Structure 1
Amino acid sequence: MTKTYSVEEIQKIEKKEFKRLKNSYILMKRAGTNCAKKIYKSKMNKNFIVLCGPGNNGGDGLVISQVLKKLNQNITLYCLDHKAYKGDAKIAYNKNYLFKKKYENLYIPKNSVIIDCLFGIGISRDLKGFYKKIIKKVNSSKQHIISIDIPSGINGNNGKIMGTAIKANSTYTLHAKKIGLTVNYGMKYSGKISIIDIGIR
């Protein structure tokens, strides 16, 4: 049986890896690159819409979008204003050369694959207003949704919905499976779960 981890356990593992690498952005780049490669190998051959939130999950999405573009995939990238990004996510934002669309203009055409990088396991408050509208639009689009690490809005420890949540067709969870993916709504909203190796030993 695959071991599941709490958010705190994962954060502790990541912190140890950051210390070893002496550059935490390396781990983000590795995570985003490996997710992008798996998406590419799936041969979906569709238009990819990448949705990036303000934290490290959004940073992963910024890396994913750029790697997929280099692999000649059709990418539409939606981001927040550059001021919303801090730390490694800001580095990823600054390194990403793609045109960044605003969420006010979010359009999801048919035959799209949505890559959900809005929020990861670090979410600590209910999603309301602006984000609730985005998630409602994504869920009602009936397009294939891939969530990175965990569906946005799902609590990483208990699988409960934090105000609202993405209903993913598949989830690419980083390094190891989180408890929240296996219980309550997390189990219903995650779809097919794949564990992405990000090089942590």
Structure 2
Amino acid sequence: MKKESEHLLLTPDQMGTADRLTIQKGVPEFELMQNAGQVVADYILTYFAPCAVGVLCGPGNNGGDGFVVARLLRDAGWSVKLTFQGAREKLGDAARKHLDLWGTDDSPVNDVLADSELLVEALFGAGLDRDVTGTFAELIKRMNRTHKPIVAIDMPSGIDGATGEVRGRAVRALASVSFFRLKPGHFLLPGKSYCGNVHLGQIGILESVLPRIDAQLWYNGPDLWTMPPYEAGGHKYSRGHCLVLSGDELSGGAARLCAMAALRSGAGLVSLFGERGALVAQAPHVTEIMLKPEPLDELLKDERNNCLVLGPGAGANAKLRDRVLAAIAAKRACVLDADALTAFAGDPKALFDHIKRYGGDKIVLTPHDGEFARLFAGLDLAAGKVEKVRQAAHMSGAQVLLKGADTVIGAPDGRVVINANAPAILATAGSGDVLAGIIGGMLARGMSGFDAACAGAFIHGAAAQQFGKEGLIASDIMAELPDMLMAMSE
């Protein structure tokens, strides 16, 4: 996986460290605050027509950024009113100086809310470390009830920048303007739905401070991974053979979707395997997919069969457990989904020990929330989504992809990626089976487990976006895959 720093996400604490290290290297805090306000003002000047603006500032540096925005918009000829909710003596030096430069008395909240066409929210930003209550909670409630466009500085106040959780009450912004690096809360639900359009600007924080912070969280995108190229002298087996376990005669659709997605994702060959009766039921529905009634131990003797997808529609039984353990022991790349996870809910240690013993760098677990809770019952499930996936990957020794509108992917070494391009129309039967197949296809082609999971999640979401209308069904995602793969390979 490529560690492209542009995709790096910083928690509020890490962002505070970046600020502090930059100031220690000689960049004045006053200058950073001035630059932050300039980025926000430039955004407003670019995307809004001149209008009456109300700027609502809190008692910290987020409020200091707001003082700068108010002054710059006023200097640009806009009508601006500012209200400061806090004590001047509690402001830091840089924020106090910028309040002095504003110069005029602040306006009553009632006037700011009533007389403004656009609100700039600078109460707390991402640095919030407690629930919003009392006067500030009431102010946020009143701001939201105006139904006026709100531009939030850094992060809508009330959203935890590290977890995306709502802390008491939160501002619903039309846009959020952040600095240096985005925060996890810009991508994690429910925070993502409060942020509106997210814009990132640079304010003079030094790139050289990033190695000191050692962040291990990114938002997903093609810059993080590389699609395996098609070699001019290659052949079907050089692109891998993916085996997908079929469900029984009445439960074969999930595996069929999965197999077709793996083939569309570029695996050289894809076969459904399983009980003969199940494959006979599959036969009228597949052409390019092969059918393998051979026992799994025979299939695993052929080294060219380099990847397996186990679980979709398979039935959570002892036989499935044995197949999963056999595939891992054979050191094959595996996607374990659905029933393959549920089958180990009573004894996850048996699965995790096997993964760690035989090497889990190409083992991908793809649970939804319920499967995750059953498989990782020993974790603190109240922790933020990023941290619980990071812990799960470490506990299992596998790559863990926790599915959702804000899918989170973790590796055992602590790396985590948030995938946030999935449209709501993806919530349809079979969508997860297609995702498992895409990841299987990437593994068959030789990608690492973590890269395959990240690429699969992104391509899956991008294909649904490309379809772009209501009525999406799982097979529609597959129809979009060739165009998506071509775009990712350019």
SS in 2 for 1:5: coil
Matches of 1:71 and 1:170, distance apart in 2: 21
Task: Say if 2:170 is the partner of 1:185.
Answer: no
Q: Percent identity?
A: 26
Choose which of 46, 49, 53 in structure 2 pairs with 1:48: 53
Find the counterpart in structure 1 of residue 105 from structure 2.
99
Choose which of 140, 143, 161 in structure 1 pairs with 2:145: 140
Q: CA deviation at 1:168?
A: 0.5
Letter of the aligned partner of 2:92 in structure 1?
Answer: K
Cα distance change on mapping 1:108 and 1:17 into 2, 3 Å: same
Q: CA deviation at 1:174?
A: 1.2
Which stretch of the first structure deviates more once superposed, 81-90 or 69-78?
Answer: 81-90
Find the counterpart in structure 2 of residue 122 from structure 1.
127
Choose which of 23, 39, 46 in structure 2 pairs with 1:34: 39
Matches of 1:102 and 1:54, distance apart in 2: 16
Task: Say if 2:4 is the partner of 1:3.
Answer: no
- Aligned 8 A contact 1:48 1:114 in 2: yes
Which stretch of the first structure deviates more once superposed, 68-77 or 29-38?
Answer: 29-38
Q: CA deviation at 1:22?
A: 4.8
Letter of the aligned partner of 1:69 in structure 2?
Answer: R
- Aligned 8 A contact 1:66 1:98 in 2: no
Matches of 2:45 and 2:117, distance apart in 1: 14
Q: CA deviation at 1:141?
A: 0.4
Q: CA deviation at 1:54?
A: 0.3
Q: Deviations over 1:35-72 (max 9, x none)?
A: 11221122422211100000000000001100110000
- Aligned 8 A contact 2:54 2:116 in 1: no
Structure ranking higher in strand proportion: 1
**Runs (4+) off by over 6 Å:** none
Q: Deviations over 1:146-172 (max 9, x none)?
A: 000000011110011111110101100
Find the counterpart in structure 1 of residue 205 from structure 2.
200
Matches of 2:125 and 2:41, distance apart in 1: 17
SS in 2 for 1:171: strand
Matches of 1:195 and 1:86, distance apart in 2: 24
SS in 2 for 1:151: coil
Find the counterpart in structure 1 of residue 91 from structure 2.
85
Cα distance change on mapping 1:107 and 1:62 into 2, 3 Å: closer
Matches of 2:27 and 2:38, distance apart in 1: 19
Higher-Rg member (1/2): 2
- Aligned 8 A contact 2:33 2:94 in 1: yes
Matches of 2:27 and 2:181, distance apart in 1: 22
Matches of 2:132 and 2:48, distance apart in 1: 33
Task: Say if 2:20 is the partner of 1:15.
Answer: yes
Which stretch of the first structure deviates more once superposed, 118-127 or 157-166?
Answer: 118-127
Cα distance change on mapping 1:22 and 1:172 into 2, 3 Å: closer
- Aligned 8 A contact 2:54 2:112 in 1: no
Q: CA deviation at 1:8?
A: 2.2
- Aligned 8 A contact 1:33 1:67 in 2: yes
TM-score, normalised via structure 1 length: 0.92
Unpaired runs of 5+ in structure 1?
none
SS in 1 for 2:152: strand
- Aligned 8 A contact 1:85 1:93 in 2: no
Q: CA deviation at 1:77?
A: 0.6
Choose which of 68, 76, 80 in structure 2 pairs with 1:75: 80
Letter of the aligned partner of 2:100 in structure 1?
Answer: N
Which structure would you say has the larger RCO, counting Cα contacts within 8 Å and 6 or more residues apart?
A: 1
Matches of 1:87 and 1:73, distance apart in 2: 27
How many residue pairs end up in the alignment? 200
Matches of 1:106 and 1:126, distance apart in 2: 26
- RMSD over aligned CA atoms reads 1.7
SS in 2 for 1:180: helix
Letter of the aligned partner of 2:84 in structure 1?
Answer: C
- Aligned 8 A contact 1:149 1:174 in 2: yes
Matches of 2:111 and 2:123, distance apart in 1: 14
